[in-house]
Amino acid sequence: MKELLKTLVEISAPSGYESQVRNQIQEWIRPLVDEMRVDALGNLLAVHRQADAPRIMLVAHMDEIGLMITHVDRQGFARFVSLGGVMPIHCVGGRVRFLNGVQGVIGVEKNPASYEIPPLEKMFIDVGASSAEDCPIRIGDVAVFERPFLDLGKRVVAKAMDDRVGVAVLIETLRRLEKSAFEIYFVFSVQEEVGVRGATVAAFGVEPHLGLAIDVTATGDTPKGHRMEVQLGKGPAIKIRDAGMLADPRLIQWMVQTAEKAKIPYQREILEFGGTDARAIQLSRSGVPAGVISIPCRYVHAPSEMVDMEDVENAVKLLGRLLQTPSPLELSS
């Protein structure tokens, strides 16, 4: 799966501009599904039909955090706002690439004190221009962090692991799928990083009986890091709670029992901040039971995010087993 993941993370696709990664996913999965379409917001929906079976919606978001230009001054320096959760601590000195191919570096108005983290408002992007007239970017242009894929053996590092690793899990699950207890809607969503917008409209249209999001989660295994139980290399995490949702206890039990029966390593996750597309599924129409399979990820929303390939592989195995295991819910097709 490394080559699959490498291709995905190196595509530039910030929120609202997901077409390039969507086109690549369509090319890969077209022979594997019974139906495929793109909705009005840009979500890619791929259906694996199963007669007289309940509908399950599986979702991973295609977009990544990015930057949008708001102003170019007379000297050609460009001011910007964030698309999604861009953290100032990761920005100064970082390199970016615009969708038109232009590259630049993020500077700051003056060198701050060592203990200060300047806000985004005091930063700018330098693309090597000497004036506004010769600056090759304009208001509204968008960029992502420029980072190549780094293979460290069992662990890999790149920008946009959030959530191209979830996309990779869905694609690989679809490739390996042989039988299913569900009619499956594989949804590759847009604009998650700016408010789970794509999954909101997709869930409304699909009307699933239950849903699972596949996304990253933070870890608590770095020196003096955030205190939480999730670690790299200990298996995919089954979410219990995050800031946006409480997972359905019946689905938690279903996932735990399935993992234990199949001897797939797993972790229990409580995330005190952030959320996923599962919130949008859960609140759709009159409500949908929803849960999350999380991929442990160090340095989430940094330009270099790290995952363990064994966790990724075990997420595929767990999702594949779940799709073969009837839901504990009383569902009607």
Nearest to 12 by CA among 141, 93, 94, 101: 101
Inter-residue contact 277 to 215 (CB < 8 Å): yes
Per the residue annotation, which of 18, 64, 192, 269 is the catalytic one?
192
Tell me how far apart the alpha carbons of residues 211 and 280 are, in angstroms, rounded to a whole number: 10
Q: Which helix (H) or strand (E) holds 249?
A: helix 249-261
CA-wise closest residue to 269 among 289, 288, 250, 245:
245
Q: Computed from CA positions of residues 225, 229, 234, 238, in that sequence, does the dihedral angle turn out positive or negative? A: negative
For residue 294, which of 219, 200, 209 has the smallest C-alpha distance? 219
Query: One-letter amino acid identity for 196?
Result: V
How far, in Å, CA of 47 to CA of 186, rounded? 6
Give the span between the Cα atoms of 39 and 185, in whole angstroms. 13
- What pLDDT does residue 28 have? 97
pTM of structure = 0.95
State the Cα–Cα distance between residues 230 and 76, nearest whole angstrom: 44
Q: What is the pLDDT of residue 113?
A: 72
Which domains are seen in the chain, by residue range? 2-64+159-324 (3.40.630.10), 66-145 (2.40.30.40)
C-alpha span between 203 and 288 (Å, rounded): 9
- Phi and psi (nearest 5°) for 319? -65, -40
Residue 331 has a pLDDT of 59
Residue matched to tokens 């990761």 = 90
Cα–Cα dist 299/163, whole Å? 13
192 counts as catalytic: yes
What is the per-residue pLDDT for 333? 45
Please list the pLDDT of the chain residue by residue as tens digits (333 residues).
Answer: 999 999 999 999 999 999 999 999 999 999 999 999 999 999 999 999 998 999 999 999 999 999 999 999 999 999 999 999 999 999 999 999 999 999 999 999 987 777 788 999 999 999 999 999 999 999 999 999 998 899 999 999 999 999 999 999 999 999 999 889 999 999 999 999 999 999 999 999 999 999 999 999 999 999 988 889 999 999 999 999 999 999 999 999 999 999 999 999 999 999 999 999 999 999 999 999 999 999 999 999 999 999 999 999 999 999 999 999 988 886 554
Task: State the sign of the Cα–Cα–Cα–Cα dihedral 242, 248, 252, 258.
Answer: negative
Please provide the size of the chain in residues. 333
For position 224, what pLDDT does the model report?
Answer: 87
Q: Are 321 and 244 in contact (CB under 8 A)?
A: no
Q: List the Cα angle 308/95/144 in 5-degree steps.
A: 70
